[in-house]
Amino acid sequence: MLPRAIDWAGDRIVLLDQTALPRLTTVEVTDVDTLIDAIRRLVVRGAPALGVAGALGVALAARTLEGAELETAAERIAVARPTAVNLAGGVRHALAAAAEGPDAVLAAALELRDADIAACHAIGDRGADLLTELCGDRPLRLHTHCNAGALACVEWGTALGVVRSLHQRGRVELVVADETRPLLQGARITAVELAAEQVPYRVVVDGAGPSLIARGLVDAVVVGADRVAANGDVANKIGTYPLALAAARAGIPFVVAAPETTLDPDTPDGSAIEIEERAPEEVFTGGPAWNPAFDVTPADLVTAIVTDERVWRPG
């Protein structure tokens, strides 16, 4: 079994260094600057894990800071990456307990960690039921993008939580995992998770996804989300939108698996979601490059959003 992506160890945050996978090494975080650097470098990543990182970061800061200084530190953590709503949400959740002292802040952060674990299991079961309803009671070929697994959360995962729940039911024929350019979360992280669970999988280049769908080689697409706008538009890792277009064209389900904490009622639609622009050098060093890290899939291409509480059909 893989270690948790993020946890609390008495007086520090312990992160599995996801930049080093498949090598298993950890980074110990005892100050806010180290945490912000880890978030920016994707040592810890994935919306739910970022939420827990934000909350535990405030817990760390609350041990030495209070009042305006604590709020400034919290704000710095909240804006370390812009697209996943969970990061600022986790910060806010822990900061709300600041008046009751550092122990209360830590308790709030740990509560968020434990709630995320429960949410992922609920999403997994609900998503597996939904796919059975949509695709029938047969082994499925599922396409996923990026990593929305245990390592993007605390345990189990969202999109891969659905895969795990289906696998437990003996209902996964194959997972097609996009390698996910440019930082290869699919090839480096999703593949490691699926191999550890002995789920049959194949990694493909991102550009292969839509044509595999068009050729009838995929039964459903299941992805995670970084932020879901009030109208159901979904921001997720760049390369998600082409899969949604291909799924709609082929008439197969495009399912988004995300906790309620990823739903953002304050963002009216996808055009209001800030898309993180990362360093061009992550894409290309021989000349100019452009590196938007996320895209937005419009609600009308989304068959369903499966959360820990409900199935929402926004389209």
Other residues' Cβ atoms within 10 Å of the Cβ of residue 1: 7
Among 34, 185, 261, 267, binds ligand MRU (CB under 6 A): 185
Among 47, 94, 176, 213, binds ligand MRU (CB under 6 A): 47
Query: Which residue's CB is nearer to ligand MRU, number 100 or number 114?
Result: 114
The one segment of 96-104, 108-116, 220-228, 282-290 that binds ligand MRU by CB under 6 A: 220-228
Task: Give dist(CA 209, CA 196) in Å, integer.
Answer: 23
By the rule CB under 6 A, 152 interacts with ligand MRU: yes
Tell me whether residue 224 is annotated as binding.
no
The one segment of 41-49, 68-76, 123-131, 203-211 that binds ligand MRU by CB under 6 A: 41-49
Q: Confirm whether 269 is a catalytic residue.
A: no
CA atoms within 13 A on the CB side of 265: 2
H or E segment and range at residue 296: strand 294-297
Query: Which residue's CB is nearer to ligand MRU, number 152 or number 255?
Result: 152
Residue with the shortest CB distance to ligand MRU? 224
By the rule CB under 6 A, 256 interacts with ligand MRU: no
Single out the residue of 173, 116, 114, 162 nearest to residue 140, CA to CA.
173
Query: Which residue's CB is nearer to ligand MRU, number 34 or number 83?
Result: 83
Per the annotation, binding residues are 45-47, 81, 185, 236-237
Q: Which residues are catalytic?
A: 226
Residues binding ligand MRU (CB under 6 A): 42, 45-48, 84, 146, 148, 152-153, 158, 185, 224-226, 236-237, 293
